[in-house]
Structure 1
Amino acid sequence: MSKTSRSALAETVQRDLIAYLRSGRTINQQAVTERLDSTGLSISDFDRLKRIHFTLSEPVRDYLDELPERLRRVRTASNVEREQVRGEVRGAVDWGQTYRARYAENPDDRSKFVTRSPYTEYQLPENVLLKTLLSILAETVKTDISAIDQSWRRDVWSDANAEAFVRRISQNIHLDRINADEDTPIEASHLEAARRSRQPLYYEAYELYQLYDRLLNNEFDEPRVREILFETLFVPDTATLFELACVFRLLRSLEDEYEVALHTIEAGSGAIAELRTDRWQIEVYHDETGPLTFNERLPEDPMDEYLRRYERVLDRHRNFLGRKSHRPLYQGRPDLIMVVNERKDADKTPRKILLGEFKHSSSESVFSDAVQEIFEYLEYARPEEAASRRWDTDEYLVDEDSIDFEGVIVTDGHQPEGPRDDLVHLAYQSIAESVEPGDILDL
């Protein structure tokens, strides 16, 4: 049984993520963004990540390559500013407007004049769109792109090019006269004026802004929108892609088998998804401990010889580095946690907890490690402090008879074995194609 390729995993995650975003089914975009963020900036805002990808995209880079020459032909209009003055006159007198002004108030007042001063108008609708688009790009380059300290970024945006672009936008005399920035609301008149323009400076800006707007609104039906989102999104390691592919497939299987519906995630929640039926509530966590803790500390003044020696190791480690030691005896974090409860008792002790480990491997030794990790999670898991108050217990959950506590391992390329000892082993291909009811959760 061969392993699933990285490209196939990426395609699966792309397809499933787009399906969730496009259909309106709720998934925790912050949690997904944190898993897919390849910038090194610890980004949790999905819109921010999309702006970065937009700025890195090939259509934007092609447009900006032509920008220095095109900015010399920013469109302007000749206009006249009229001003009513009294006494001293500067500029040409508009006698028609002067006579009207005088007769409107006092025909005998010969000290009142209306002057006119010609000026160049930059505040045209197409210029507002142009300046807004360039401001979005410049702010993203200055704040985010330049902060990415990775070689692939420099291949796309060198430090010199990033600095030159930001400087060009901030110091261009034409752009400086256009009153707009990255927060300027774009109206239909701005879009229409740019669309109808014969200058590529404007009609290409219109096309790029439309693309940007569709990207922010998750309109992935258009291939170009999908390409921009995923052009540099899948730099994460293969293990992360495999974990996300497993999570999405497990979610889909639960939806199909139990007709559960994804529910709105509360702000600040670490869950990647929450599913509900009329009776059940299922919280799904990926690479998060959720309401559990897997931290076993050394006891004070351990009596066991092994523990005393381990304590000395930690003390020497602390002294060598000159900092405090956390003195962990064990610390872990499963790839998957599912917490199941009846909705009427959502804040009480869960009815079922499932812990999962995902291994993109066919190795027997890796599978053996996964089995040990799952049994460690099951043995050491306890409710974290806030959860222990709700559940009225701070004991090891494996000792709680009221909780159905199990583990699941998903491997890729390793022949699955039947369930035993509270542990289910599934092959990735089985959850990619179909999962029988009860293989994951028996509701």
Structure 2
Amino acid sequence: MDRAELIDSVAEDLFAYVMHGTMPETHVAEQIKPNGLDERFEDFDALVDLHFILKPEVIDFVEALPHRIRSIKTQTKNVSTASRGEIDGRIDWESTMTTRASSAPGDRSLFVCDTRHESYDVDENVVLKRLLSLIYTTLDDAEYYLKQEYDWVTDRWQENLELVDRMRDLFERNVHVTRIRAPERYEPTDRMLQRADGARNEIYREAAALLRDHQASRRGDVDAIRTLLADTAITPGDEETLFELYVLFQYVNAIEDHKDGDATVSTIQTDRQEVARIESEDGSDVVLYHDNSGRDDISFITHPREKAESDLTRSERIYHETQKITNRYFKDSDFQVRSNRPDVIVLEIQRDDQYEYLVTEVKNSIGRRTIRNGITETLEYLAFLRRDDQLVYEEETPFGTGWNGVLVVQDMEEQDTASLHEQETIRILQASELDTAIPELLERVL
């Protein structure tokens, strides 16, 4: 499964689950934020804002601002003021006589004058001010990171760091910008954006287009999310995270289908470890954990000494089973290593006081060595999986029934491998097999 396919699938599921509030935005934001950012950018909206200012179109807009801002639109308004002893502007005799008669009879020093003032309070300027405010605020939050040597920072920010200072100075001190009122929370309205869309001045048309793109990303528009995930400025350099999210969503989809409408995905609070909780009418709950689940309960051990299989300890049997599974799964000796970053998804089934588990390790690889490591890690997770500090599986069956552990790897189109039912102890699934294999796994554990 290539990057484009992963992005399409994950974007659809992000829209379906995360943007509708049934899966924590913070969890997904934490997964896809660029390396080095602090916790402020684990808020999805903040991450969207960061992605926004990294867009080439936004940088182009900022670079051209100093010259274009001088041509922004104003309108002239007549302001009527009453004063005594001085005349400022054109005397409005009708209003003067009316005011004298009603408030100061006989006072010949009172005049009402019309004065022409230049006003920046037009719809197009409100659109522009909202965009400038968004860029200004996000640059202020991200300035430190823009100055670092991170791969995800566009070269144009790093090579032109004074652009940040120019933007700040323009927003805070430029006479044209400061005279535009601050938009209300609900502004710009659709009517304001439409006026900017149809403006003669290009600065307004571009501002409206950029704001619409930003609003679409904030709303969770599928195409906007797809663009966000596809942009290397916002995702990690490899495809590991996208692959993990793809597998995670495959589980959620399969569980909903398995329950055949008798289950609902419940909204998860952001301070919970759970990624998703699926509640069934029969009283059983399925809870999905990802990445940070049970790490304190997982142990890693040394290579066992040579012993008879019957004499192996729980820890030693992991390596024995690893070798056996690897030899059984691969039917030729070709291999290719791509990556070896581990991750884990834990599916917990709660029924009355009974618990069942499905532990899934994800490897974005087709390499034999990487997959072998994944087998070892999956066995370790199973062997040392604990609930309330108690081992889940007994000494006689430390890896469960053979259907409690899964290793998901990338598609191996030219590799001859064992089928799902030919495998033992754990199941190795390729990405393209998940649609059909996960439902069968669920039949075994639910």
Report the TM-score when normalising by structure 1: 0.76
CA distance in 1: counterparts of 2:379 and 2:439, whole angstroms: 24
Q: Verify: 1:359 aligned to 2:340, yes or no.
A: no
- Give the SS at the match of 1:262: strand
Aligned residue in 2 for 1:45: 43
CA distance in 1: counterparts of 2:164 and 2:435, whole angstroms: 42
Aligned residue in 2 for 1:378: 382
Aligned residue in 2 for 1:17: 14
Aligned residue in 2 for 1:57: 55
Aligned residue in 1 for 2:393: 398
CA distance 1:440–1:155, change in 2 (3 Å) = farther
Give the C-alpha shift of residue 198 in structure 1: 1.5
Aligned residue in 2 for 1:35: 31
Aligned residue in 2 for 1:276: 279
AA aligned to 1:293 is: D
Matching residue within 131, 134, 138 for 1:133:
131
CA distance 1:17–1:127, change in 2 (3 Å) = same
Q: Verify: 1:338 aligned to 2:347, yes or no.
A: yes
Give the C-alpha shift of residue 399 in structure 1: 4.5
Give the C-alpha shift of residue 178 in structure 1: 0.8
Aligned residue in 2 for 1:75: 73
Give the C-alpha shift of residue 161 in structure 1: 2.5
Aligned residue in 2 for 1:250: 251
CA distance in 2: counterparts of 1:409 and 1:166, whole angstroms: 50
Deviations 1:6-27 (A, max 9, x none): 44434443344345457x4733
Aligned residue in 1 for 2:188: 186
CA distance in 2: counterparts of 1:297 and 1:429, whole angstroms: 30
Verify the 8 A CA contact 1:418 1:425 in the aligned structure 2.
no
CA distance in 2: counterparts of 1:369 and 1:21, whole angstroms: 31
AA aligned to 1:47 is: D
Q: Verify: 1:157 aligned to 2:166, yes or no.
A: no
Verify the 8 A CA contact 1:351 1:404 in the aligned structure 2.
no
- Give the SS at the match of 2:269: coil
Aligned length, in residue pairs = 387
CA distance 1:72–1:89, change in 2 (3 Å) = same
Matching residue within 83, 88, 93 for 1:91:
88
- Give the SS at the match of 1:208: helix
CA distance in 2: counterparts of 1:174 and 1:193, whole angstroms: 19
CA distance in 1: counterparts of 2:180 and 2:85, whole angstroms: 31
Give the C-alpha shift of residue 295 in structure 1: 5.7
Deviations 1:213-244 (A, max 9, x none): 22211223xx5674355323333423222222
Deviations 1:298-356 (A, max 9, x none): 9xxxxxxxxxxxxxxxxxxxxxxxxxxxxxxxxxx9511112113xx5xxx55212222
Aligned residue in 2 for 1:301: none
> Where do residues 289-368 of structure 1 align in structure 2 (5 Å cutoff)?
289=293, 293-294=296-297, 335-342=344-351, 345=352, 349-368=353-372
CA distance in 1: counterparts of 2:8 and 2:71, whole angstroms: 43
Deviations 1:105-163 (A, max 9, x none): 34223343323433211121211111111110121122125524314414142323233
CA distance 1:10–1:173, change in 2 (3 Å) = same
Verify the 8 A CA contact 1:131 1:181 in the aligned structure 2.
yes
> Where do residues 215-254 of structure 1 align in structure 2 (5 Å cutoff)?
215-220=217-222, 223=223, 226-228=226-228, 230-232=230-232, 233-254=234-255
Give the C-alpha shift of residue 377 in structure 1: 1.9
CA distance 1:25–1:143, change in 2 (3 Å) = closer
Q: Verify: 1:437 aligned to 2:440, yes or no.
A: yes
Verify the 8 A CA contact 1:293 1:382 in the aligned structure 2.
no
Give the C-alpha shift of residue 194 in structure 1: 1.8
CA distance 1:425–1:189, change in 2 (3 Å) = closer
CA distance in 2: counterparts of 1:224 and 1:54, whole angstroms: 11
CA distance in 2: counterparts of 1:258 and 1:45, whole angstroms: 32
Structure 2 unaligned regions, length at least 5: 302-341
- Give the SS at the match of 1:157: helix
- Give the SS at the match of 1:351: strand
Verify the 8 A CA contact 2:405 2:426 in the aligned structure 1.
yes
> Where do residues 413-432 of structure 1 align in structure 2 (5 Å cutoff)?
413=412, 415-416=417-418, 418=421, 423-432=426-435
More displaced 10-residue stretch of structure 1: 211-220 or 56-65: 56-65
CA distance in 2: counterparts of 1:5 and 1:264, whole angstroms: 31
- Give the SS at the match of 2:59: helix
Report the TM-score when normalising by structure 2: 0.76
AA aligned to 2:216 is: R
Give the C-alpha shift of residue 172 in structure 1: 1.6
CA distance 1:129–1:418, change in 2 (3 Å) = same
Percent identity between the two aligned chains: 25
CA distance in 1: counterparts of 2:36 and 2:217, whole angstroms: 22
Give the C-alpha shift of residue 374 in structure 1: 2.2
CA distance in 2: counterparts of 1:157 and 1:122, whole angstroms: 30
CA distance in 1: counterparts of 2:441 and 2:225, whole angstroms: 38
CA distance 1:108–1:88, change in 2 (3 Å) = closer
Structure 1 unaligned regions, length at least 5: 299-332, 389-393
